[in-house]
Amino acid sequence: MCTGACSKFVAIPLYVLVLVSVVCNILLFFPDFDTKYAQDDGETTPRLTAEVKYMGGVIGGGIMALIPAIHIHLTGTKTCCANRCGMFLSIGFAAAGVAGGVYSLAVAALGLANGPTCLGVSGSYLTDQSQWALCFEPKDVVQFNLALFSTLLVAAGLQIILCSIQMVNGLFGCICGTCSGKEGTFITIIYYHHHLHHSKRSE
């Protein structure tokens, strides 16, 4: 597979993961789908889970992954970025995407480990389902946070994998080219001649 085509394969799922991460993080600000908890939240009266306000899904899984996704996408098209220089730059952008994914993953993991902020129970109690019902406000906040933070965790893990793949792909693109334009034609000609020569020898 050409490195340019691989870049497209990496970029498109990244767009989806960016959207998922941002939406999940925004929803976490509204437990029970109510705005009052975000409005009443303060230092002395916390109503939101602390990890929600770290914005892991918006900053790490969102912005820090979106910028690499755009550049990686451009390296997979016949534009000014579809060359060795563009592939080299994509390594740096992909590294930023990895860093963003790690941040988002760490925040989500902390959110799951520490448990949500609610009235009735305090501390980490996610492993003890018998206490979930004691967290009476916001309603079903344990399940709410568990679903969204778990989604963020998975999305961040996939972002890290995809950006890591692009770092390797970018390295190969620097060395071998992107298989686009003249580079692609040249490589195709070499492959054709090699295949023809091998066929004649087989005969």
Q: What is the pLDDT of residues 117-162, one digit of tens each?
A: 877 665 566 677 777 777 777 888 888 889 999 999 999 999 999 9
Answer yes or no: are the C-beta atoms of 10 and 169 closer than 8 Å: yes
Mean pLDDT within 73-95? 71
- Residue 121: the pLDDT is 63
> Which of 8, 168, 170, 169 has its CA nearest to residue 74?
8
The answer to the question of residue 31 being in a domain is yes
CA-CA distance, 50 to 63, in Å (whole number)?
A: 20
- Is 190 part of any domain? no
Q: Is residue 189 part of a domain?
A: no
Q: Give the C-alpha separation, 23 to 6, whole Å.
A: 27
The residue that leads in pLDDT, 46 or 15, is 15
Helices in the chain by DSSP H: which ranges?
Answer: 3-27, 36-40, 64-75, 84-114, 141-176, 181-202
**Structural domain includes residue 196:** no
Task: DSSP letter for 2, please.
Answer: -
198 vs 58, residue with greater confidence = 58
Q: Which residue has the higher pLDDT, 48 or 109?
A: 109
What's the whole-number mean pLDDT along residues 78-87? 60
Instruction: Work out whether the CA dihedral 44, 48, 49, 52 comes out positive or negative.
Output: negative
Q: Is the pLDDT of residue 7 over 80?
A: no
What does pTM read for this prediction?
0.76
* Any domain includes 39: yes
> What domain range is 35 assigned to?
3-177
Phi, psi of 31 (to 5 degrees): -60, 140
50 within domain boundaries: yes
Examine residue 52 and state whether it is found in any structural domain, yes or no: yes
- State how many domains the chain has: 1
* Better pLDDT: 106 or 176: 106
Coil, strand, or helix at residue 30? coil
Classify the phi-psi angles of 139: left when phi > 0, otherwise alpha if psi is within -120 to 50, otherwise beta: beta
Q: Is 53 inside a domain boundary?
A: yes
Taking 50 as the threshold, does the pLDDT of residue 31 lie above it? yes
